[in-house]
Amino acid sequence: MKITLKDIARELEVSISTVSKALKNSEEISRDTKEKVQAFAKLYNYKPNNIAISLKNKRTKNIGVVIPDIVHHFFTTVIRGIEKYANARGYNVIVCLSEESFDKEVINMEMLANGSIDGFIMSLSSETQQKADYNHLKEVTEQGIPVVLFDRITNEIDCDKVIIDDELGAYMATKRLIDEGRKKIALITTDDYLSVSKARTMGYRKALIESGLGVDESRILKLSSMEMDEERIKDFFETQKVDAVLCVNEIFAVYSMRLAQEKGLKIPEDISFIGFTDGFLSKYAYPSLTVVAQHGEKMGEISAQMLIDKVEGEKEEEETFQTKTLEPTLVIRDSIFH
Amino acid sequence: MKITLKDIARELEVSISTVSKALKNSEEISRDTKEKVQAFAKLYNYKPNNIAISLKNKRTKNIGVVIPDIVHHFFTTVIRGIEKYANARGYNVIVCLSEESFDKEVINMEMLANGSIDGFIMSLSSETQQKADYNHLKEVTEQGIPVVLFDRITNEIDCDKVIIDDELGAYMATKRLIDEGRKKIALITTDDYLSVSKARTMGYRKALIESGLGVDESRILKLSSMEMDEERIKDFFETQKVDAVLCVNEIFAVYSMRLAQEKGLKIPEDISFIGFTDGFLSKYAYPSLTVVAQHGEKMGEISAQMLIDKVEGEKEEEETFQTKTLEPTLVIRDSIFH
DNA sequence: TTGTACGCGTTATCAC
DNA sequence: GTGATAACGCGTACAA
């Protein structure tokens, strides 16, 4: 089964420490013994036990990723970015899903905080942002466990952060729609307690105000969560006459496009659409959807890099936290004129 | 920072084992000491160190999930199923991506096999299935680490397996298209070395042969990987006149629908489509796509259950492996008549 | 009722 | 050149 130093030592009738050194090719050990030990180890496929090493080094080489959700394309790409980068530096990724629940987020973090991981990368659940209760994060950081927050962040916690400039993204998108000649631009978003939705709404407002169009509050639809509420979107389009729609994710956008098409509207002739998140849905929708790309994979990489740098960095140095803001990009497709 | 039994013992001037017992409410310890210790532990938020416990118990309570890819909806739902079930039983999930590469799969497994996890849940990379080299799996099982394979499996390895009946799924879908009156049914798939593609192709053939339509090989498009090859699909539709298409995933299907629509074809009047995987893409495509649902979340749950049962089971009992086959379901949407 | 000793697997220090 | 010992944090059988 699994062979240990002790086994090798017993078998070769040398001490455990000799074996340990021999396997590390230590100068102290005679060539003879080294060869013998190494051959034996290879034969029986000896590999040091990670757990024992973790205990000794107080380093697990695991990083905990706590996210609200995994089926949405954005989080999926972030994980991929984290995993790639972390793996390259010899770290494994433990994924925990809060499923937008505060309690699950807390439980998951407690579970991992007891030595299972060297640091956290996380995006807050909507319930957490709604309650604005961040004690579980405080506890963890006070224990000295490094944390990197991405996308759904809070200013209440001192730690590294990675976001995209959501306000700018929404601003760019709205501006583009205005430049195209759209006058009645709707926004489909979620409640403002979600940091990203709030920022995006601000960007939308800013663009409208700057252009002199002004904000018509009745054109803003606030859904209560990131999940689809088909009925409310349907109702919205029944009562509102708009010529462009900005949505805070791609699902809202693609579903809205469908409703428009079912009403006989032509996209983009009669109405145009822009969403957030550059996923399969946007790419393969018909017509394909113009989106604000969030660069999830890049965010994941950067988060992982910041975390690991902190984990491996000297604790001595002054604790200094930074927030990295990525530039969003507009990916132009057929749901608008171009 | 992090407090240990030793710290408490020193502070309270008792022995470590007394503290340990007191925290477990052992009968051996006086009420007095117990209260003192428990109060102190609570105050300083003592939590046992998972790593130390893992080393002692030779159980990590981690399970390793090695999959080819995470951005595709199917794998995403499987992870969710695994995570939910595993978490409920106190296990954490370490996710590793092979990215369809044999080497990465091997490296990932070796990384985890040295004590980091209690067992594996995995789906083979396409390269692994192509090379048909399963030595890394053999090594792991021979070490006594339980493995559950799902979806992309191999018969070369003795272990538990979870699949859906891919052949039946394709058969059902093809049958449905035939019953609808379709005569020229195309199949867009990938090379046969992928176990699932092979099975689906068989189901497709079976349905055609049974119905007396026969198989026209020129109507089968085999792409070299699960990744989109837009050019080849385009070429295929340039040269083939078909009235229905079965695709082994939803991306191929949705992209094909787009091509058809761009050529002015009406769906499902002129041509109908069925894909595999019941994801957002199928649901929100226009028209919405009929699919063979793979029940990924269920697969994940079952895989996790089988694995954990094996991990926690008595080693004594005769090693007995089972293969669970889930029934696929046809989710009827607007890309076919109904 | 409390404490000692040992073991999990490894590495590092120090003695021989 | 080799080996004994301690330590990482915990639990437990056994001794006091």
User: How far is C-alpha A126 from the chain's CA centre?
Assistant: 14
Q: In which region does residue B144 sit, left (phi positive, over 0), alpha (psi from -120 to 50) or beta (all else)?
A: left
What's this model's pTM, rounded to 2 decimal places?
A: 0.95
Reported as type and span, the H/E element at residue B189 is strand B185-190
Pseudo-torsion of CA A299, A303, A305, A309, nearest 10°?
160
Query: Which pairing describes strands B147-150 and B92-97: parallel, antiparallel, or unpaired?
Result: unpaired
- Is A51 a residue whose pLDDT tops 70? yes
pLDDT, mean of residues A189-198 = 93
CATH architecture label of B166-294: 3-Layer(aba) Sandwich (3.40)
Cβ of residue B53 near strand D, that is under 7 Å? yes
Residue-averaged pLDDT of chain B: 94
Q: HEC states along chain A?
A: CCCCHHHHHHHHCCCHHHHHHHHCCCCCCCHHHHHHHHHHHHHCCCCCCHHHHHHHHCCCCEEEEEECCCCCHHHHHHHHHHHHHHHHCCCEEEEEECCCCHHHHHHHHHHHHCCCCCEEEECCCHHHHHHCCCHHHHHHHHCCCCEEEECCCCCCCCCEEEEECHHHHHHHHHHHHHHCCCCCEEEEEECCCCHHHHHHHHHHHHHHHHCCCCCCHHHEEEECCCCCCHHHHHHHHHHCCCCEEEECCHHHHHHHHHHHHHCCCCCCCCCEEEEECCCHHHHHCCCCCEEEECCHHHHHHHHHHHHHHHHHCCCCCCCCCCEEEECCEEECCCCCCC
Counting residues of chain B whose pLDDT is more than 70, the rounded percentage is 98
Rounded CA separation B166/B327 (Å): 9
Mutate to test the interface with B, among A145, A286, A289 (most CBs of B within 10 A): A286
pLDDT, mean of residues B49-69 = 96
User: For position B244, what pLDDT does the model report?
Assistant: 98
Cβ of residue B59 near strand D, that is under 7 Å? no
Using the CA of B9, which nucleotide's C1' is the nearest one?
A: C3
Q: Could you tell me the residue ranges of all domains in chain B? A: 5-48, 62-163+296-326, 166-294
Q: What type of residue is A39?
A: A
Q: pLDDT of B288-323, one tens digit each?
A: 999 999 999 999 999 999 999 999 987 656 689 999
Instruction: Confirm or reject contact between A114 and chain B (CB < 8 A).
Output: yes
pLDDT band at B228 (very low <50, low <70, confident <90, very high): confident
Q: pLDDT of A109-122, one tens digit each?
A: 999 999 999 999 99
Same fold yes or no, B62-163+296-326 and B166-294: yes
User: For position A27, what pLDDT does the model report?
Assistant: 85
- Residue B116 to residues A8, A54, A243, B310: CA-CA distances in angstroms? 21, 10, 55, 17
- Structural tokens at position B129: 């299935």
Q: Which residues contact B73 (CB under 8 A, 6 or more apart)?
A: A71, B250, B277, B278, B279, B280, B281, B296
Cβ of residue A225 near strand D, that is under 7 Å? no
What are residue B223's DSSP bridge partners? B190
Asked whether the beta carbons of residue B52 and residue A48 sit closer than 8 angstroms, the reply is no
Of B84, B116, B258, the CB nearest to A50: B116
Q: Which residues contact B316 (CB under 8 A, 6 or more apart)?
A: none
First-last CA distance in chain B:
63
- Is A170 a residue whose pLDDT tops 60? yes
- Is B126 a residue whose pLDDT tops 90? yes
Residue-averaged pLDDT of chain A: 94
Q: What is the distance in angstroms measured between the alpha-carbon CA of B300 and the sugar C1' of C10?
A: 35
- Is B177 a residue whose pLDDT tops 80? yes
Instruction: Confirm or reject contact between B257 and chain A (CB < 8 A).
Output: yes
Reported as type and span, the H/E element at residue B120 is strand B119-122
CATH architecture label of B62-163+296-326: 3-Layer(aba) Sandwich (3.40)
Q: pLDDT of A274-326, one tens digit each?
A: 999 999 999 999 899 999 999 999 999 999 999 999 999 876 566 899 999 99
Contact B275, B250 (CB under 8 A): yes
Of B80, B251, B257, the CB nearest to A280: B251
User: For position A310, what pLDDT does the model report?
Assistant: 95
pLDDT band at B28 (very low <50, low <70, confident <90, very high): confident
Instruction: Confirm or reject contact between B338 and chain A (CB < 8 A).
Output: no
Q: Which one, of A67, A97, A41, A49, lies nearest residue B117 by Cα?
A: A49
Asked whether the beta carbons of residue B281 and residue A280 sit closer than 8 angstroms, the reply is yes
Instruction: Confirm or reject contact between A115 and chain B (CB < 8 A).
Output: yes
User: For position B2, what pLDDT does the model report?
Assistant: 85
User: For position B317, what pLDDT does the model report?
Assistant: 62
